[in-house]
Amino acid sequence: MSTIAFLNIAMHGRVNPTLPVVAELVRRGHTVTYHTSPAFRDEIEETGAAVHLYPGGDQPLPDPPMPITLVDGLVRTAIRLVPAVLTDLRRARPDLIVHDNACVWGAVAARELGVPAASSYTTFAFNRQVPSPTRASLDLLRGARPGYFGSFLRSRWQLGRRFDTHELPVFDLGNIRQPLNLVFTSRAFQSGAEDFDQSYRFVGPSIGARPADPSFPVDELRGPVLYASLGTVFNADPGLLRTFATALAPLGGTVIVSTGQTDPAALGPLSANVIARRFVPQPDVLARAALFVTHGGMNSANEALYAGVPLLVVPQGADQPLVARRVVELGAGLSIRTQDVAEDSVRALARRLLEDPRFRAAASTLQAAQHEAGGYRRAADELERYLREARPVTQHSGAE
């Protein structure tokens, strides 16, 4: 059996899809290590992987969250983390490193150690149809505060002076490709899938067993179940969440609103058929849902389509507009801008999604594609195949 090291950035959307893959590799007898931030320690340990914590505690998101601050933050984080990561990896002696497509330090560590690497895409894979947000373009610089670009160039030069970065993109550090790139969605949902070579394997949503939540009344939900969530990363506007609740209440038997970091009490009094909680067992809810109002995070969209549920997408940022556009293109849902959200507009769109069978039919077609892609078992198969075929790259002898 082999030793496989996972390295990731500290975001639920990046970490969560890898967890069933890790658990499957452990089940197959491999030794797995996972470098992460303290916030993810418990859930990773539950997979059976050995956890190595990054020094310095949990890593904050870039502020402001823009492409130039993202790439600058990734490079500066890599400079700080690579020495400690290399120390851990030299002890573990991995046969393979699996890193997120934006995990600069994972890619650098693989080059330094001469270890084969695979990249994990929990977003779309990027190409002409789906351009990477960190590609070299005017968009990378637009709106950047004075000094950010200079800071990035200095950090990028320092990283290249200390470590082997000759195969690392200069700017496009949110799109670090490897000879094997695992993309956690189906070819059917990926835009421009036909333009990707065989190094990209569209393995579909990675959905494994999750701990049950006995406090949530799953078996008491009355149909149609309508579900709304804007994700768990940022504080959602209570007024926006309340609008979803009031718009959907007359249409649903049970309306569920996941508020994430927002206190449910901030929504005020709600109809008797509305359940508002910070967190809900999303796969269990989606298995019973007739409609999902979502921010369009890739994991949420994947899970909804895996369950065959039509979506009303309200993109908030990042890759969410791309997800919204793809959902609409494929006929599996509709989209609305945040500034256009009102009780009447949301209710009208929700009614269309519930009453027009074409949306459910399109979602069902994508559901089949999501299941056929193979999920976490296919991802584990691809990693094992890559291990058998890969040959170590030349080890770099530069400074740590």
Domains annotated for the chain, with CATH where assigned, are: 3-204+374-389 (3.40.50.2000), 218-372 (3.40.50.2000)
Number of H helices, E strands in the chain: 14, 13
Pair 114, 85: CB distance under 8 Å: no
Query: pLDDT tens digits for 168-208?
Result: 998 899 999 999 999 999 999 999 999 999 999 999 999 98
Query: pLDDT tens digits for 98-157?
Result: 999 999 999 999 999 999 999 999 999 998 878 888 886 555 555 556 667 788 889 999
Closest listed residue to residue 179, CA positions, set 211, 153, 209, 201: 201
Burial class, 313, CB count within 10 angstroms (exposed 0-12 / middle 13-18 / buried 19+)? buried
Residues with Cβ < 8 Å from 26, sequence gap 6 or more? 32, 47, 48, 49
- The strand pairing partners of 35, in sequence order, are 7, 52
Worst-scoring range by mean pLDDT, 23-37, 139-153, 279-293?
139-153
Mean pLDDT of the chain: 91
pLDDT (average), residues 331-358: 97
- The strand pairing partners of 32, in sequence order, are 4
Sign of CA dihedral 144, 313, 277, 268: positive
- Decide: helix, strand or coil at residue 23: helix
Instruction: Find how far residue 383's CA is from the centre of its chain.
Output: 19
**pLDDT at residue 396 greater than cutoff 50:** no
Does the model's pTM come out above 0.95?
A: no
